[in-house]
Amino acid sequence: MSLTAEKKLWIAKALDKLGVDVIEAGSAVTSEGERIAIKGVANEGLRAEICSYARALKGDIDYCLECDVDSVHLVVPVSDLHIEKKLRKDRETVLHMAVDTTSYAVDHGLLVELSAEDASRADGVFLREFYRQGVAAGAQRLCYCDTVGVLVPDRAAAEFADLSHIAPISVHCHDDFGLATANSVAALEAGATQVHVTVNGLGERAGNASLEELVMTLESLYGYKTRLKTTELYLISRLVSRLTGVPVAQNKPIVGENAFTHESGIHTHGLLADTRTYEPITPEMVGRERRIVLGKHAGRASVQLALKELGLDASDEQLGDILKRIKELGDKGNVLPTQICRPLPMPCSRSIVRLV
């Protein structure tokens, strides 16, 4: 995907309103147009720290300085696979490049987050030495990249419990095996102090850890208050989808169209009694509304609720006839959506399950 300067600024403003702490606005080395876009975001007066991606090259740092960013996400390959096959170098050369570029960026007033690319496939001893020398050179934050999504949560927990003692460290996960959010949460539990996420989980290949999934997992399952305005999550999801042209899967957690959609008669009956029966969070928490679909799985409760929303009443006989006709349509592959705009009853306050 490719975003114009104007679109990047729209998204950056929305992220700042949401309350994120750091916005990586792009890679300054990419093109002149990218530098114009990053500089526009950096000079907008946003509360968030504005960052640019950079490689371990002084020329990349110079481009970042042109863009007036606050920090650089300095990404350096650390696995032997990347060092030998991609860079065609050795460990010592790469280590020297990382230290030299970190010092250069710090000397020019940039905050450096030194990022170990492919850390999850790197030699552990070399990885720790890489981090220690980076901190000595002036890096204020570290980052551990699970570049091809091969981490699992128990290993993530073990890695970050050890690495978090070196310096403040971020976790950057890809979703190749669908574990990006789980690995990110495990790393945060173990000591990571920052997490890299993207709206709608966008990113290379299968994407990165999803902003909305991560935030609501922390807020609702762990009882951790992120300080983000969760009611803005759905709006920014739609904004990013529209501007990038990348649709959101209907069954995607939190922001997918089906996340708060109910069809089954059993489910709808439960919702009428207490929304917690079939919703772990309320749609209002993320700026959404509940939706009831009338299809072949619908029951009398679903039809009654739909009629109520339309201000209509029906006898038992009429209700049965309507339900029969809905199921006939359902057998032909059709559904009848009806929007439920008002919160349904919730008799008692929602308790938070704490896992930590």
Express each pLDDT in 83-141 by its tens digit: 999 999 999 999 999 999 999 999 999 999 999 999 999 999 999 999 999 999 999 99
319-337-346-220 Cα dihedral, nearest 10 degrees: 150
**Which stretch of DSSP H or E encloses residue 324?**
helix 316-331
Q: What is the pLDDT of residues 19-38, one digit of tens each?
A: 999 999 999 999 999 999 99
Q: What is the pLDDT of residues 310-344, one digit of tens each?
A: 788 889 899 888 888 888 887 887 776 655 444 44
Of residues 80 and 305, the one with the higher pLDDT is 80
User: Considering just the CA atoms, what is the radius of gyration of the chain in Å?
Assistant: 24
Strands 290-294 and 336-340: antiparallel
Backbone φ, ψ for residue 299 (5° rounding): -125, 180
Could you give the residue range(s) of every CATH 3.20.20.70 domain in the chain? 5-244
Of residues 340 and 63, the one with the higher pLDDT is 63
Judge contact between 68 and 43, C-beta under 8 A.
yes
- Rounded Cα gap, residues 108 and 224, in angstroms: 36
Here the tokens at position 336 are 């009848």
The answer to whether residue 266 scores a pLDDT higher than 70 is no
Share of the chain above pLDDT 70, in %: 91
Here the tokens at position 69 are 């960013």
Which CATH number, 3.20.20.70, 3.40.30.10, 3.90.550.10, 3.20.20.210, labels domain 5-244?
Answer: 3.20.20.70
Residue 91: per-residue pLDDT: 98
Question: Quick one: which of 168, 167, 211, 159 has its CA closest to 186?
Answer: 159
pLDDT tier at 7, thresholds 50, 70, 90: very high
Is 51 strand, coil or helix? strand
Mean pLDDT of 278-301: 84
pLDDT tier at 351, thresholds 50, 70, 90: very low
Q: What is the pLDDT of residues 198-226, one digit of tens each?
A: 999 999 999 999 999 999 999 999 999 99
- Rounded Cα gap, residues 65 and 10, in angstroms: 22
